[in-house]
Structure 1
Amino acid sequence: MPQSLLIISRQSPWSGPSAREALDIALAGGAFDLPVGMLFLDDGVLQLASAQDASQLQQKDLTANLQALSMFGVDDLFACTASLAERGMLPSALSVEPLQVLSDQEMAALIDRYDQVITI
């Protein structure tokens, strides 16, 4: 039985390559039928904002990668309630579905469910 993997993405989409690397790991894991989940935490929730224009920063938009997750079998997507609230983001206005918004206690239980956890 393949081990499950949770990727915790904590970086904004514009702070460097970390956000893209987290998505690439998730897509690669999904391509090999590995049970993969993604948790967006801290500035990582900014990846979920709708209508981003990365061209002004001369970076590639991550929206297509986020939407491709489900095509690769990565359907377990989570976001931290507190991280969203701290940034004034409403779950109803995010670009990714289905997305489960979790409290701190729920995140602790989530992390315990996975065999491997990577924080990027």
Structure 2
Amino acid sequence: MEQNSFYNDLVFTDDKVKISVVLETSFSKEIRIAFKKGQIMKEHKTAFPIVVHLLEGSIEFGVKGEKHQLKKGDILTLEGNIPHDLLANEESVVRLTLSKLDSPERVEKVAEDSKS
């Protein structure tokens, strides 16, 4: 058994969203994405399905050009190879569940490419 919290060592940075691996299991990787208000992750996609769960804040989640407003507690799934983007309407914390086959480094690269 492993235990952690999405709120342990929570850090927001000014230049880009902050990506942290919170937990890794035999089938998934649980990632925390900490957004300051106005920060974005530009359009990107992954080859694998994902689950996005908004733990705190408010996010505009774009899928194929259509914008969806997510509020605290909202959760969604997205199949692989679907372009999507994120914009923080306020300081926000996102739980991202990745396939074990996917890479946190890929998510970090999206954050780096999106920094303001």
Q: Which has the higher helix share?
A: 1
TM-score, L = length of structure 1: 0.28
TM-score, L = length of structure 2: 0.28
